[in-house]
Chain A
Amino acid sequence: MNIKKTALYELHKKHNAKFVEFAGYSMPIQYSEGIVKEHNITRNKSGIFDVSHMGQLFIKYSNEITDKLQKILPTDLKNLKINQSKYSFLMKENGGIYDDLIITRKKDQYMIILNAACKQNDLQIIKNKLNDQNLDIKNNLSLVAIQGPESKTILENVVSNVSKLKFMNGENFSFKNNEIYITRSGYTGEDGFEISLPNKVAISFVEELISKGSTLIGLGARDTLRLEAGLCLYGHDINENTSPVEANLKWAISKNRINDNFIGSHQIKKQIEEGVSKLRVGIKPETRVIARESTKIFDEKDNEIGKVTSGTFGPSVNASIAMGYISNSHSKTDTKVYLEVRGKKVPANICDLPFYKKSYVKGEANV
């Protein structure tokens, strides 16, 4: 299989990116600054992320399509305002998650942003469920995120009036006479924006952001940023065998949809009523040792009670941090647990998420 490149590939190269293969794409893991510095630049100033490998799916809006989408997403789409976005899931029959996604109601279309590794499978599922074989992921569009406290001012210098956007809301703007769509959103725990724009202007757009003071950031820092913010990475923290309830993402299921019929709803309703046996929690080792994915979790009596799904060192909290699934009986904050790392048991504590407090712009409940 040919490794794919985004429209920004040459720009990454020019900025001395180190590339890795991710979901079939050659993507920058870091630039010359390195992961920790890139992480801190995003937290303190502004960072630019090429997320063009993610899938951008557009579906023509109609009442009938809304009904069909509500069968596969647990989100109240009927009350979704024009230009409003919601975090949602493509649901599996067993209550598991095929993918997590952001759906935005544009005037005449729904825009759905899908994970790169899942997008082809998602497309097939959505095509079948919507009974529309003509749906396709747009390959002529790039997706760029700008994140961090100075991003608003920097982006405003390139695209006027963008700072009026509220969190999880979007609008059409223009750049060099091209229509672009910007939402106030992101996946770093910082205020920021995501910009969907034609491939042909992607490099010049990002170059303008750089000239106004932002910096390219790789996937390495994207991972430490999202983990500090307590956000899930699909394929690690959530998958086809974890439900939104087990993943502690119940908030993303619209309240008025719990008793509704959607794929997996029977299982979700049961889990909400009867509780779950495992739950996603935050875990803080007492030392700097890093508990990576698949690290086993034990209680004081040496019973295995769970597994780590993501673990790294959090530069902004200056500590080792992890997330994982643990038996519900041990999921309370401050419960002491032990992580088995290289044959040794490292003491750790269950903690609240996020590890790092966010600074989103108010306007709606935070994700």
Chain B
Amino acid sequence: MSNTKFSKEHEWITLDGEVGTIGITKHATEMLGDIVFAELPEKGSNVEKDGTAGVVESTKAASDVYTPVSGEVVEINQSIVDDPSKINADPEGGAWFFKLKLKDKSELDTLMNKEEYDKFAKETSA
């Protein structure tokens, strides 16, 4: 995941050409606990950087999912809506949330790399 970038809201994004795949980090799932509900943005909708683009609920609480960059939603992962426990099992792999056609690739520069994120996650949860 060397080309994966991370946001302060604990989302990750991996770029493949013009399309970014977005999910929530393992660290986020550990803080949330067992996820029992997921809501995703609609395919075809446009989302703005740092705007709400979904919801996850654990047995404890609801949390908004934000998009780390702007773009058009080109694909959503229905399998995590049908079985939200997949998010805890494989958050940074098969349990991605949605794919975006990026509006402005330079927005990626505002995000953290793996090393920076790990440090950030460690500091903020201490």
Contact = CB atoms under 8 A, between A and B. Distances in A.
* A, B in one complex: yes
A155 interface: no
B37 A34 contact: no
Contacts of A220: 33, 59-60
Interface string B29-47: 0000110110100000000
Most buried by A among B59, B62, B85: B59
Contacts of B68: none
A288 B59 contact: no
A220 B33 CA distance: 10
Interface in A229-261: none
Most buried by B among A37, A288, A289, A292: A288
A36 interface: yes
A313 B37 CA distance: 8
B52 to A, nearest CB: 9
Given A288-B37, A289-B39, A36 B57 contact: no
A17 to B, nearest CB: 13
B105 to A, nearest CB: 31
A35 B37 contact: no
Contacts of A224: 59
Contact of A35 (B34, B57, B84): B34
Contacts of B36: 36, 288, 290, 313, 315, 320
Interface in B16-67: 33-34, 36-37, 39, 55, 57-60, 62
Interface residues of A, number: 18
Nearest to B57: A290
By secondary structure, the A interface counts as mixed
A331 to B, nearest CB: 26
Contacts of B62: 290, 292
Contacts of A312: 59
Contacts of A223: 59
B59 A313 contact: yes
Interface string A165-198: 0000000000000000000000000000000000
Given A34-B34, A35-B33, A320-B37, A313 B85 contact: no
A317 B60 CA distance: 17
B116 to A, nearest CB: 26
A270 interface: no
B59 A35 contact: yes
B96 to A, nearest CB: 19
Nearest to A33: B34
13 contacts: A34-B34, A34-B88, A35-B34, A35-B59, A35-B60, A36-B59, A289-B39, A290-B37, A290-B62, A313-B36, A313-B37, A313-B57, A315-B36
Given A35-B33, A292-B62, A312-B59, 14 more contacts: A30-B33, A34-B34, A35-B59, A35-B60, A36-B34, A36-B36, A36-B85, A220-B60, A224-B59, A289-B39, A290-B62, A313-B37, A313-B59, A342-B55
